[in-house]
Structure 1
Amino acid sequence: MSSDTAGRPRLRAVLVAFGLALLGFVLVLPAGFVVSGVYTAAFGAEVDDVAALGISMIALQGIAFPVTAWLYVRRRGLSWEYIPVAAPDLRDIAYVVGGFVFAFVAANVIGGALITVFSTEPAQNTGATTALANPEIIPYLAVLQILLIGPGEELLFRGVIQTRLREQFGAWPSILLASAAFAPLHIFALSGGPAAAAITISILFVPSIVFGYLYEKRQNLAVPALAHGFYNATLFGLMYVVVKYAPETASEAAALLGV
């Protein structure tokens, strides 16, 4: 077998992985249209910034990502057993806590180093900007990170994409490739110049790699989903504290919310 022929399954796996990530973001358009229609019909109100933020979360992590995962599983004739998930045991919980702490510390250390070296602040997340303007919603957003955002993103990027890559690559290549599919697509939610966006995306690689490691180590989607959810929720919690007790630094706090 030639090297070209041998490399085709790996190339196909990479193309499928990035194609699935892109499809997840494309499907948010029809999903958002439906959710917006339901919101308008139910509440008889126009979609303001707060409603738009909630609609985008439901449409993306609650609908588009799970639908993309479902389409892939169905297309390959697989069952949901393809994605290992179970109620976490005590060892799983230890990994959740350890992974969350490590991701948080590492992201802040590396983020601080990048900011110092390039003298550029990270790009702001548009959702964080909305939260800063409406701080009363921050506690609700923190809860959504655990219940919706973490599970929705991990289902697609770890449960489907990393699992698919693992069929052709070793553990670490699949983790890195899945993270490469995960982090850059967040650019759609960022505001700022190219340099600021590049720093934010670079920082996003850190927790993404940690979540990928947790999934690979425990073979249980609940582990990275919980770690991801608590990681994001902590960032929102810190933002709430900043807005409440140090509002003059609120704009800098918004840059923390990259995940």
Structure 2
Amino acid sequence: MSHQSASPARRVGVATGLTVLGVVLSVLLSIPALAVSLNTLAQFTVALVLSELGFVAAAVVFLRTTDRGLDYLRVRVPDLRALGFVVAGTVALFVYRLVAILGAQAVGLPLAGNSVTQLAEQGVLDTLLLLVPLSILVVGPAEELLFRGVIQSYLDGAFSRAPAVVLTSVLFALVHLPTTWVATPDPLAVGVTLAILFGLSILLGYLYVWTDNLVVPILVHGLYDALLFGLAYLVLSSDAVPEGASMVA
């Protein structure tokens, strides 16, 4: 059966397999950085870059094995309309995050942390500063390439756009399960945090739908993470960390 005529179930299976492949490649590629003797910041940087390349590698595997070219990704230089979506989308993600976190705290739901906040709270604040450019140059492009550019587009070939966005967002949220669980091994806290990440992914998915340009969710994802890490640095460096605060990125 060709990929062009693949059934919805097959497409979901391929999308899930690509997600698993991305995670496996991320782990395998980051192992060398964890095995060599480097200072904490350098080791974290190399491991992060290599792990994000795992998502890129999974996307490349799909494009090569299905004989799809770069035009499949719908990457174009953003025009003024697209840049407007970038600004509005970044603001929307921040507003959503604020409302979601305040809502969770209002009803007494816990939130999970992550390995980045753990490093920062242990005194390696330079990690947060380093993540500002890395979010824009590495994290946003790598994750959006796989999840929006490849997986969402592939699922869109068998479903209407809404189910494709939702299914992609489920996979995107689940990818963050290991790091959130390691940081906070509390099922409820992890579940709440993944639900918030699911919502963030829904917004990113629709930005891709509305603009038909992968550069838009790439920029929004990268800018959102970069601003989040920058603000976290300012808060943590001022020793004014709110009780129960959590970073959802």
TM-score normalised to structure 1 length: 0.87
Inter-partner Cα distance in structure 1 for 2:224 and 2:174: 19
Structure 1 range deviating more: 129-138 or 215-224? 129-138
Where do 4+ consecutive residues of structure 1 move more than 6 Å?
Answer: none
Inter-partner Cα distance in structure 1 for 2:31 and 2:193: 28
2:213 counterpart residue number = 220
Map 1:97-136 onto structure 2 (within 5 A).
97-117=87-107, 119-132=108-121, 133-136=123-126
Structure 1 unaligned regions, length at least 5: 1-7, 41-45
- Alpha-carbon deviations, 1:22-66, whole Å to 9, x = none? 1100012321134556xx4xxxxx1444334213321221x2011
The one-letter code of the counterpart of 1:217 is W
Change (3 A) 1:236 1:195: same
Report the alpha carbon displacement of residue 225 of structure 1 after superposing the two structures with TM.
Answer: 0.4
1:162 counterpart residue number = 152
The one-letter code of the counterpart of 2:117 is A
Three-state SS of the structure 1 residue aligned to 2:176 is: helix
Inter-partner Cα distance in structure 2 for 1:93 and 1:252: 35
Report the alpha carbon displacement of residue 143 of structure 1 after superposing the two structures with TM.
Answer: 1.1
2:47 counterpart residue number = 56
1:239 to 232, 237, 245: 232
2:200 to 199, 207, 221: 207
TM-score normalised to structure 2 length: 0.90
Q: Is 1:31 equivalent to 2:29 in the alignment?
A: yes
Inter-partner Cα distance in structure 2 for 1:11 and 1:93: 36
- Alpha-carbon deviations, 1:141-191, whole Å to 9, x = none? 111111110011000000000000000011111111100000122011112
Report the alpha carbon displacement of residue 202 of structure 1 after superposing the two structures with TM.
Answer: 0.8
Contact 1:86–1:220 (CA under 8 A) maintained in structure 2: yes
Structure 1 range deviating more: 229-238 or 136-145? 136-145
Contact 1:175–1:209 (CA under 8 A) maintained in structure 2: yes
Report the alpha carbon displacement of residue 250 of structure 1 after superposing the two structures with TM.
Answer: 6.2
Change (3 A) 1:49 1:189: farther
Inter-partner Cα distance in structure 2 for 1:49 and 1:196: 27
Inter-partner Cα distance in structure 1 for 2:90 and 2:73: 22
1:18 counterpart residue number = 16
The one-letter code of the counterpart of 1:204 is L
Structure 2 unaligned regions, length at least 5: 1-5
Report the alpha carbon displacement of residue 98 of structure 1 after superposing the two structures with TM.
Answer: 0.6
Inter-partner Cα distance in structure 2 for 1:9 and 1:108: 39
**RMSD across aligned positions (CA):** 1.9
Contact 1:103–1:207 (CA under 8 A) maintained in structure 2: yes
Matched residues, number: 241
